[in-house]
């Protein structure tokens, strides 16, 4: 891996686990803020336009996942994360606006449930002494496959399948646990952006899965 200067620490420095964790979660918080901004700006978009923007955001995630070091470390990777979050937010705008207008309790419950799941699985990941890093890649591919199936169902059937939502929720929760465990055991400054991206995506997946499940009760 080519050496690059980390964006939060001097070259060659190895920050503490607490510092790296703080950096990761700070970026996650900003990414969520960009998503919220995008959903507000895009609240009146046509559903067809919003769907296209969602696919663009999903494509940007794929690019960051397979695009190499440029999408993992440095200012460009940081801008890409925030642009991706904004695009996903724009795509979610009309859907979230619908729920806020017609059933705001569902949004509140989904947000609260997401916070509890992330806190619980993150704490478990930190507490476990076992190194869970070998599970990161398989879980990521499983989540990716489940999201693809969910998108196909949305496009070619009447809507999202509750069973798929449960699968995505469960896998994303496990991935949160693995990511937090990785932060404790392996992460360096060069891992901050891609870990923040992964945790952000898992949080969005959990929230949308809960939104789908609670909205179809």
Task: Render pLDDT for 18-36 as a digit per residue (tens, 0 to 9).
Answer: 999 999 999 999 999 999 9
Count of domains for the chain: 1
Domain encompassing residue 113: 17-215
Q: Which letter, b or e, does each residue of 96-129 get, where b requires 16 or more Cβ atoms within 10 Å of its Cβ? A: bbebeeeeeebbebbeebbeebbeebbebbeeee
CA angle 25, 181, 163 (to 5 degrees): 85
Q: Model confidence over 34-74: pLDDT tens digits? A: 999 999 999 999 988 988 998 899 889 889 888 888 989 99
Predicted pLDDT at 3: 37
Give one DSSP letter per residue of the chain, joined into a string: ------SSS-TT----HHHHHHHHHHHHHHHHHHHHHHHHHTTTS-HHHHHHHHHHHHHHHHHHHHS-GGGTSSHHHHHHHHHHHHHHHHHHHHHHHHHHHH-HHHHHHHHHHHHHHHHHHHHHHHH--S--GGGHHHHHHHHHHHHHHHHHHHHHSSS--HHHHHHHHHHHHHHHHHHHHHHHHT--GGGHHHHHHHHHHHHHHHHHHHHHHHHT-
Asked, for residue 3, whether it belongs to a domain, the answer is no
Q: Is residue 32 part of a domain?
A: yes
Q: Has residue 111 been placed in a domain? A: yes
2 in a structural domain: no
pLDDT of residue 16: 87
Is the pTM value of this prediction over 0.85?
yes
Asked if the structure places residue 182 within a domain, the reply is: yes
Q: What is the pLDDT of residue 67?
A: 84
Residue 11 lies in a domain: no
Look at residue 196 and tell me if it is in a domain: yes
Residue 105 lies in a domain: yes
């Amino acid at each position: 891996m080519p050496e690059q200067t980390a964006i939060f620490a001097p070259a060659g420095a190895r920050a503490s686990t607490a510092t790296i964790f703080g950096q990761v979660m700070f970026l996650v918080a900003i990414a969520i803020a960009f998503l919220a901004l995008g959903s507000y700006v895009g609240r009146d978009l046509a559903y067809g336009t919003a769907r296209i923007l969602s696919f663009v955001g999903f494509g940007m995630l794929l690019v960051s996942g397979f695009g190499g070091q440029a999408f993992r470390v440095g200012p460009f990777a940081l801008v890409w994360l925030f642009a991706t979050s904004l695009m996903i937010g724009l795509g979610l705008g009309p859907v979230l606006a619908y729920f806020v207008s017609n059933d705001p309790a569902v949004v509140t419950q989904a947000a609260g449930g997401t916070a509890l799941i992330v806190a619980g699985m993150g704490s478990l990941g930190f507490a476990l002494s076992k190194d869970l890093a070998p599970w990161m890649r398989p879980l990521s591919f499983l989540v990716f496959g489940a999201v693809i199936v969910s998108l196909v169902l949305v496009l070619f059937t009447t809507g999202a399948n509750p069973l798929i939502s449960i699968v995505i929720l469960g896998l994303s929760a496990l991935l949160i646990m693995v990511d937090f465990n990785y932060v404790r055991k392996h992460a360096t400054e060069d891992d901050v952006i891609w870990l923040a991206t992964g945790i952000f995506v898992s949080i969005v997946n959990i929230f949308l899965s809960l939104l789908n499940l609670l909205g179809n009760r």
